[in-house]
With several copies, the nearest count.
Chain A
Amino acid sequence: MTTRIQSEAFDVGVEVEAFTAAQAGAGAVVSFTGIVRDVAGGLRWMELEHYPGMTEAAAEAMRQEALTRFSLTGALVIHRYGRLPPGAPIMMVATAAPHRGDAFAAAEFLMDWLKSRAPFWKKEVTETGESWVDATDADEEALGRWS
């Protein structure tokens, strides 16, 4: 399974190691890990809501699109939902390719799409209340470079 949507924590090192070991013919492996940040201070946790069924299908479709668009030997997507404390990995992607350009581009492509098109919604729960995180124009605009 190379697209996983899960509430359980995952171990970045274990995932990168296993992914890398499985890539025959790759000269380049790129991994990206997104981590819960306490930007303003006082963050108790981040609550990630998702759309069961659609989330898995959308993330897998993006992974397949990356495999089609770039010359890769493999790609991995892991994304958590539920309650995530500051410092916890939220998600990761890993890409492997014969050449580094494809591996980097595919990882950025997957991140840009997952940010704005995978059905996840983040809510920040702080000591003083809770609020939904707004989508940013920058994340939306990042998609433009792949069209």
Chain B
Amino acid sequence: MNVRYFAWLRERIGAASEEIETGAPTVGALVDELRARGEGHASAFADTRALRVAVDQQLASFDAPLAGVREVAFFPPMTGG
């Protein structure tokens, strides 16, 4: 699964994307796995209420299922316009 990071999440983790082998059933379970990958990840995911997630490029919630999903992206609230 391709996991992507944007804005300060990307900076804190130090990578724009990672290819990850996971059996996590939901976004929330994936976040728990990612937190264990190191200090940068733990800091980035410290408060998921401050984060947004997209599953296969659609905005989703943290309890969204991951079966068949190819890409998950994490980022702070958007500031376009």
A binds B: yes
Any B CB within 8 A of the CB of A17: no
Measured CB to CB, the closest approach of chain A to B14, in angstroms, equals: 15
> Which of B4, B6, B76, B80 sits near A114, CB closer than 8 Å?
B80
Any A CB within 8 A of the CB of B54: yes
Q: Assess the A121–B81 pair: CB atoms within 8 A.
A: no
Q: Assess the B73–A115 pair: CB atoms within 8 A.
A: no
Q: Assess the A51–B6 pair: CB atoms within 8 A.
A: yes
Q: Assess the B54–A119 pair: CB atoms within 8 A.
A: yes
Q: Assess the B54–A120 pair: CB atoms within 8 A.
A: no
Q: Assess the A119–B79 pair: CB atoms within 8 A.
A: no
Question: A117 to chain B: which residues have CB within 8 Å?
Answer: 59, 78
Any A CB within 8 A of the CB of B77: yes
Q: Assess the B6–A57 pair: CB atoms within 8 A.
A: no
Q: Assess the B73–A121 pair: CB atoms within 8 A.
A: no
Residue total for A at the interface (Cβ-Cβ under 8 A)? 29
Q: Assess the B79–A51 pair: CB atoms within 8 A.
A: no
Instruction: Select the stretch in A6-14, A18-26, A64-72, A131-139 that faces chain B.
Output: A131-139
Question: B10 to chain A: which residues have CB within 8 Å?
Answer: 49
Within 8 A of A (CB), among B26-55: 54
Measured CB to CB, the closest approach of chain B to A17, in angstroms, equals: 21
Are A121 and B54 CB-contacts (below 8 A) given A34-B81, A132-B7?
no
Q: Assess the B81–A135 pair: CB atoms within 8 A.
A: no
Task: Give complex CA distance A128, B15 in Å.
Answer: 25
Measured CB to CB, the closest approach of chain A to B10, in angstroms, equals: 8
Contact sample, A vs B, 17 pairs, CB 8 Å cutoff: A51-B73, A51-B75, A57-B57, A91-B81, A114-B81, A115-B81, A116-B77, A117-B59, A118-B81, A119-B73, A119-B75, A120-B80, A121-B7, A121-B76, A132-B7, A134-B79, A135-B79
Residues of B within 8 A of A (CB): 4, 6-8, 10, 54, 57-59, 73, 75-81
Residues of A within 8 A of B (CB): 34, 48-49, 51, 53-54, 57-58, 79, 90-91, 100, 111, 114-123, 132-135, 139-140
